[in-house]
Amino acid sequence: MFRALAITAVLLTAVAGPAIAKPAMPSCHSSSDAHMAHCLSVAQHSADAGHGADELRAAYHLPATGGAGQTIAIVDAYDNPNAESDLAAYRSRYDLPPCTTANGCFRKVNQRGQAAPLPKGDPGWGMEIALDLDMASAACPACTILLVEGDDPLDANLAASVNTAVAQGANVVSNSYGLDESSHMSELAAAYRHPGVPIVASSGDYGFTTAEFPAVLSSVIAVGGTTLTRADNTRGWTEKAWNSAGSACSAWVAKPAWQHDANCGMRTVSDVSAVADDLAVYDTYQAPGWATIGGTSASAPFIAGLIALAGNGSHVPDASYIYAHANALYDVDSGAVGGRDCGGDYLCNGKPGYDAPTGMGTPNGIGAF
């Protein structure tokens, strides 16, 4: 099973359940099936204290307009029955335009592209859905959002959901889940390769460790994570590698021609990054409302939203475009991640230029997309 990649959520009330396999949200369960993911852990905190859409747009110098006519697809497992109403609350708080089924901005379908029947509900994956929808909205308020809900977290069903998203007209597809890479992933790789439609995926939330599928595929834009902090400087913010951002040197995927880092002869994860720490999200399915969440589950839909905001997705077939336009990114040159020790190397530390936890850097406007 795939696992969703929202690692820490700061909630209003009770403490989350115990960690299960990789730490899990209370309603998610580990499985002996290596091809199914599970959700990750939820920690508790005060509510409504994280970075909101207004701060994200300011920190990354996003234009006030753009994205009209673009569709961001969010792929997740199970149903969140409160998805549309919770999204409305988030967007209202940050003065984003309404995005509803009635006005044609929001659409929710099952993995076959049908409005019904939807899969069974799951509060853990439901919070993942809420996070993804909120971050995509923050990045591109004028974009249309398509939520594709897989029957369950089986890798084949989420892969089928990606194909459905593209068939339903998505301009970019966001995936906030992962599974340790293996030879099995070659059977599903085609679902994550759609020329003209960028496929974005979270790098993972366990630091320097085994690469995550689908992020490790060279056809996918792998998104790492940062911690974003207000600062007394020209930008008004500083960033460092988030201490749990996924980074890896693949054991299975060949080095893409556009990637040239020195100490990994295979595909290196990540390509680009955005904030993955201390984010305000509205969810009433698992949480009581406002929550503060962290994880590369946040940064992936945010980057997908920026690709849609730029309206250039047909020219961003993979991460090669981002590497060629790194001058439009903020370089993240500090911070370290957990996981395996890499001896201070760029594979697990923020460094000048490319590093695995944050890739080529974070957005400075939309020029890299």
DSSP character at residue 270: -
Q: Kindly indicate the confidence band of residue 344, based on its pLDDT and cuts at 50, 70 and 90.
A: very high
Q: Which residues of 284-309 are buried (b: 16+ CB within 10 A; e: fewer)?
A: bbbbeebbbbbbbbbbbbbbbbbbbb
CA distance linking residue 174 with residue 292, whole number of Å: 21
3 state SS of 178: strand
- CB 274, CB 286: distance < 8 Å: no
Q: What is the pLDDT of residue 49?
A: 79
Q: What is the pLDDT of residue 5?
A: 65
Tokens of 284: 């009433």
* pLDDT at residue 29 greater than cutoff 70: no
Rounded CA Rg of the chain: 18
The lowest-confidence range among 34-48, 87-101, 251-265 is: 34-48
Q: How far is CA 195 from CA 59, 88, 316, 328, 366, in A?
A: 31, 32, 9, 23, 21
Q: What is the pLDDT of residue 35?
A: 53
Q: Give the tens place of pLDDT for each residue, 232-245.
A: 999 999 999 999 99
Tell how strand 289-294 and strand 279-283 pair up: antiparallel
Q: What is the pLDDT of residue 18?
A: 24
* pLDDT at residue 4 greater than cutoff 80: no
Q: Which residue has the tokens 């911070």?
A: 335
Q: What is the pLDDT of residue 9?
A: 42
* pLDDT at residue 42 greater than cutoff 90: no
* pLDDT at residue 296 greater than cutoff 60: yes
Determine the average pLDDT of the residues in 219-223.
Answer: 98
For the entire predicted model, the pTM comes to 0.91
Write down all domains in the chain, each with its CATH number in brackets: 3-363 (3.40.50.200)
Q: What is the pLDDT of residue 26?
A: 25
* pLDDT at residue 347 greater than cutoff 60: yes
* pLDDT at residue 28 greater than cutoff 80: no
Number of Cβ atoms within 10 Å of the Cβ of 154:
18
Q: What is the mean pLDDT of the chain?
A: 89
- Using alpha carbons, select from 177, 132, 136 the residue that is nearest to residue 157: 177
- Using alpha carbons, select from 352, 33, 348 the residue that is nearest to residue 206: 348
Q: Kindly indicate the confidence band of residue 52, based on its pLDDT and cuts at 50, 70 and 90.
A: very high
Q: Kindly indicate the confidence band of residue 48, based on its pLDDT and cuts at 50, 70 and 90.
A: low
Number of Cβ atoms within 10 Å of the Cβ of 186:
12
* pLDDT at residue 168 greater than cutoff 60: yes
* pLDDT at residue 31 greater than cutoff 90: no
Determine the average pLDDT of the residues in 135-158.
Answer: 97
